Chain A
Amino acid sequence: MKGAEALLEALRDRGVDTVFGYPGGAIMPLYDALLGSGIRHVLVRHEQAAAFAADGYARVSGRPGVCIATSGPGATNLVTGIANAFLDSVPLIAITGQVATPLMGTDAFQEVDIFGITLPIVKHSYVVRHIEDLPRIVHEAWDIAASGRPGPVLIDLPKNIAAGEAHGARRVHEPRPTPARAEAALLDSAAAMIDAAERPVVYAGGGIGIGRAVQAFRDFVAQTGIPVVSTLKGLGAIPTDDPAFLGMLGMHGSRAANTAVQQSDLLVVVGARFDDRATGKLDGFAPGARVIHLDIDPAEIDKLRRVELALAGDLSCSLAALAQQRPRIGAWRRHCQSLKTEHVQRYDAPGEGVFAPELLRRLSVAAQGEATLTCDVGQHQMWVAQHCLIRRPERHLTSGGLGAMGYGLPAAIGAQLADPARTTIAVSGDGSIMINIQELATLKRYGLPVKVLLIDNQSLGMVRQWQELFFERRFSEVDLSDNPDFAAVARSFGIDALTLDEKGQMDEAVDALLNHPGPLFVHCRIDPAANVWPLVPPGHTNATMLEGSTQ
């Protein structure tokens, strides 16, 4: 058996049936072994898309996604996707070809030190030096990627190792221990803090979905009755139409969520990391609150805010232990509901043009929150977060930590393949879509029924908004009014397309997005001056929220 075959066999042992990649010189032995291996290879058109598609596949399936690239430029093109998986804690196995070991370190053709380049953005990494180590490395990489706080693992595979014969390949691998549980005494203390609280708020993060703790979280919220706010990645931990849900907190969060957090006397932080986009100015965040921090990763405890009580360990176990508490917070809950009522979102924008928040809300409601929505980065990403009905974390795929434009379309490809029966919609902007628009060819090739909703404001909208608000309207390099005819571009890839310009066309567009057989590209033109509101200005606490005229 060759090294490449041993690697694929180990992947098959872990149940891998789909990988994403792009071939090239140093990785050719692996591509040769893929033929007849029983593993489906999805050929993307740029390696970055392979990493993003594997990321989307992982987020939906809950199992590591696998991406493959050759050495040199193929490997460096994976870097953004690896960083994305690292910052969003997504289990990913990135396999890169490498020049043969005798050539390593000689600046050989297409040689880069991808092991060194990616050191800060991987959970772990390997250069395979001996063929016999391959099975162990693959199994170890899998467990590292998937266990505890998930993340990406890189396997750099020299060409001669992949092509060489493995004699007596050994699998010496000890599975990692299961996640620790928080200590009983600490859980008792947390329970007492919850019982004593008068104004508690649950601050829900992406760790709930990643840790597959959604049901335990919902039980905890239902039984304690504590109002909930969430981060961008925590959306869907409870349905966004649940009465207990106050909205997303932070820079583009809801006023109800931010106000409740600022007024709270106890924050129960679940699988979140006090990201600056969520907290605003940190030293003014939830100034009167004591904090209980639940996280699988002990290194997140006290990283940005010193907490009164840390429950490091498996989230489901901790939440189940705390779900018996019944704080007497009726008045506080009524106050939080009044905040929601007072600051309810409005969709009655004037004019005949399409108001993107309204379109997105209608679309997600029509889908009953059951479609998978992937996003790119920018204004449309925030509108999705603010206005869409989201019922599960794995139905909302967004580049949260890295904020990588170009994520949405390839992530949708991975999501669709992970859950073929589910409607998958990539919401993008006219800046973001151009980062990985070549993946329309992947949709066409594999006949994937992904729907693309392009919100086109003819500019890099979020940057333009910031230049308008914080750089004295000095607009610098944000104009995209020379965009191509996107519907025509989509058709040139063989994908059906339609264009949406007016409010009156929205129902037809929503129907097409949910019911059109096969892939569809919907190009929606909106007002280039539309902004995302509310907004916490940089350097301010979440108590300071700007509102705009479209509200």
Chain B
Amino acid sequence: MNRTIEVNLTHAEGAIVRTLGLIERRGFVVHGVETASDPHGGALVLRVEVGSRGRPFDVLVRQILRLFDVRNAFLVEPQAGQRLVC
């Protein structure tokens, strides 16, 4: 099962690697990533398509929220046919 998680990050050194690394280390598969910069607040928006073999996505989101550079993170409501590009 795949879901998309949107993560709002402070644009700090290591923030992207830390977030993607956590997702993989927690046993999820990164199928795709999109990034966008927030021109106003020094933030970075990361949309990650994540696969799981049974581990709960809501727990993963809370684990991401523990990261100091993460301002917000949430599961995107699924939409048919949507897929992120690596």
Q: Which residues of A contact B (CB under 8 A)?
A: 115-116, 119-120, 123-127, 129, 144, 149, 297-299, 301-303
Answer yes or no: B25 CB below 8 A from chain A CBs: yes
Measured between beta carbons, the chain B residues less than 8 angstroms from A302 are 56, 58-59
User: Complex: how many Å from CA A297 to CA B56?
Assistant: 16
Distance A149 CA – B63 CA, assembled complex (angstroms): 12
Smallest Cβ distance from B11 to chain A, in angstroms?
14
B binding-site residues for A, Cβ under 8 Å = 13-14, 17-18, 21-22, 25, 56, 58-59, 62-63, 65-69
Please state if A301 and B21 are interface contacts (CB–CB under 8 Å). no
Closest to B63 in A: A299
* Chain B residues within an 8 Å CB radius of A144: 68
Contact residues in A for B62 (Cβ distance below 8 Å): 298-299, 301
Q: Which residue of A lies closest to B61 (CB)?
A: A299
User: With A and B bound together, what is the CA distance between A302 and B58 in angstroms?
Assistant: 9
Q: Known contacts being A129-B13, A302-B59, is A119 close to B18, with CB within 8 Å?
A: yes
- Select the residue from A298, A301, A302 with max chain B CB neighbours within 10 A: A298
Question: A297–B14 contact, CB under 8 A?
Answer: no
- In the bound complex, what is the Cα–Cα distance between A449 and B68 (angstroms)? 40
**Residues in chain B near residue A125, CB distance under 8 A:** 14
Provide the residues of chain A in CB contact with B68, threshold 8 Å: 123-124, 144
Q: How far is the CA of A144 from the CA of B56 in the complex (A)?
A: 26
Closest 10 CB pairs of A and B: A299-B62, A124-B68, A299-B63, A298-B62, A303-B59, A299-B66, A302-B59, A119-B18, A120-B25, A119-B21
Once the chains are docked, how many angstroms separate the CA of A56 from the CA of B67? Answer: 25
* Cβ–Cβ contact B59 & A119, under 8 A: no
- In this complex, the member of A126, A297, A299 whose beta carbon has the largest number of chain B beta carbons within 10 angstroms is A299
Q: Are B21 and A127 in contact (CB under 8 A)?
A: no
Provide 21 A-B residue pairs closer than 8 Å at the C-beta atoms, listed in order of the A residue: A115-B14, A116-B14, A119-B18, A119-B21, A120-B21, A120-B22, A120-B25, A123-B66, A126-B13, A127-B13, A129-B13, A144-B68, A149-B66, A297-B66, A298-B62, A298-B65, A299-B59, A299-B65, A301-B59, A302-B58, A302-B59
The residue in chain B whose Cβ has the minimal distance to the Cβ of A298 is B62
Establish whether residues A116 and B17, one from each chain, have CB atoms under 8 Å apart when the complex forms: yes
CB distance from B74 to the nearest CB of A (A): 14
Which secondary structure dominates chain B's binding surface?
Answer: helix
Instruction: Give A120 to B13 CA distance when docked, in angstroms.
Output: 15
Residues of B contacting A120 with CB < 8 Å? 21-22, 25
- Tell me the nearest residue of chain A to B13, going by C-beta: A127
**Residues of A close to B69: CB separation below 8 A:** 124
Kindly list chain B residues whose C-beta atoms are within 8 Å of the C-beta of A119. Answer: 14, 17-18, 21
**Contact residues in B for A129 (Cβ distance below 8 Å):** 13
Least distance between B15 CB and chain A CB atoms (Å) = 10
- Give bound CA distance, A301 to B60, whole Å: 11
Min CB gap A109→B, angstroms: 23
CB distance from A313 to the nearest CB of B (A): 13
Distance in Å from the Cβ of A203 to the closest Cβ of chain B?
A: 19
Please measure, in the bound complex, the distance between the C-alpha atom of A144 and the C-alpha atom of B66, giving whole angstroms: 11
Bound CA span A298–B59, Å = 8
Q: How far is the CB of A72 from chain B (nearest CB, A)?
A: 19
Contacts of B21 in A (CB 8 A): 119-120
Q: Which residues of A contact B65 (CB under 8 A)?
A: 298-299
CB-nearest residue of chain B relative to A123? B68
Known contacts A120-B25, A124-B67; 8 further A-B pairs (Cβ under 8 A): A115-B14, A120-B22, A129-B13, A149-B66, A298-B65, A299-B63, A299-B65, A303-B59
Closest to A297 in B: B66
Q: Which residues of A contact B22 (CB under 8 A)?
A: 120
Bound Cα distance A144, B58 (Å): 23
Taking CB atoms, residues of chain A closer than 8 Å to B59 are 299, 301-303
Q: A303: which B residues are within 8 A, CB to CB?
A: 59
Residue of B at shortest CB range from A176? B68
Q: Quick one: closest B residue to A149, CB to CB?
A: B66
How far is it, in angstroms, between the C-alpha of A119 and the C-alpha of B22 when the chains are bound? Answer: 9
Q: Which residues of B contact A124 (CB under 8 A)?
A: 67-69
Closest beta carbon of chain B to A180's beta carbon, Å = 12
Chain B residue at minimal CB-CB distance from A151: B66
Give Cα A268 to B56, complex, Å. 22
Cα(A302)–Cα(B62), bound, Å: 10
CA distance A126 to B65 in the complex (A): 18
Docked CA distance A483–B39 (Å): 64
| Whole-angstrom CA separation of A144 from B70 in the bound complex | 13
Alpha-carbon distance A294/B61, docked complex (angstroms): 19
Q: Which of A115, A126, A149, A303 has the most CB of B within 10 A?
A: A303
* Nearest CB on A from B16, distance (A): 11
Collect the chain B residues with CB atoms within 8 Å of residue A301's CB. Answer: 59, 62
Q: CA–CA, A149 to B67, complex, Å?
A: 12
Task: Determine the chain A residues whose CB is within 8 A of the CB of B17 once the complex forms.
Answer: 116, 119
Beta-carbon nearest neighbor of A140 in chain B: B68
What is the bound-complex CA distance between A298 and B58, given in angstroms?
10
Output the least CB separation between A78 and chain B (Å): 18
* A116 vs B20: C-alpha distance when bound (angstroms): 13
